[in-house]
Amino acid sequence: MKLEITSVEKVYETLKGQPVPALKNISFDVTTNTFTVLVGPSGCGKSTLLRIVAGLESPTSGQVHLDGKQITGPGADRGMVFQAYTPFSWRTVLDNITFGLELKKVDRKTARETAHHYIDLMGLNGFEEAYPRELSGGMLQRVAIARALANEPALLLMDEPFGALDAQTREKMQELLLKVDRTTSTTILFVTHDLDEALFLGERIVVFGKNPGHIIKIFDAPVTNNLTDKLEEKFIGVKRQLLEIFESFK
The residues pairing with 104 across neighbouring beta strands, listed in sequence order, are none
- Over residues 161-178, the mean pLDDT reads 92
- Could you tell me if 191 and 236 lie in one domain? yes
Q: Which of 170-174, 188-192, 245-249 tops mean pLDDT?
A: 188-192
Q: What is the pLDDT of residues 87-122, one digit of tens each?
A: 999 999 999 999 999 999 999 999 999 999 999 999
Residue 61, SS3?
Answer: strand
Give percent above pLDDT 70 in the chain: 95
What confidence score (pLDDT) does residue 147 get? Answer: 95
Contact 45, 23 (CB under 8 A): yes
Look up the domain containing 135 and give its range: 84-152
What confidence score (pLDDT) does residue 26 get? Answer: 98
Contact 158, 144 (CB under 8 A): no
- Could you tell me if 242 and 178 lie in one domain? yes
Q: What is the CATH number of the domain that holds 235?
A: 3.40.50.300
| Strand bridging mode 204-209 / 214-220 | antiparallel
On the question of pLDDT at 227 being above 70, the answer is no
- Could you tell me if 240 and 159 lie in one domain? yes
Q: What is the pLDDT of residues 125-162, one digit of tens each?
A: 999 999 999 999 999 999 999 999 999 999 999 999 99
- Could you tell me if 114 and 238 lie in one domain? no
Q: Which residues of 79-102 are buried (b: 16+ CB within 10 A; e: fewer)?
A: bbbbbebebeeeebbbbbbbbbbe
On the question of pLDDT at 250 being above 70, the answer is no
Task: Give the Cα separation of 193 and 242 in Å (integer).
Answer: 12
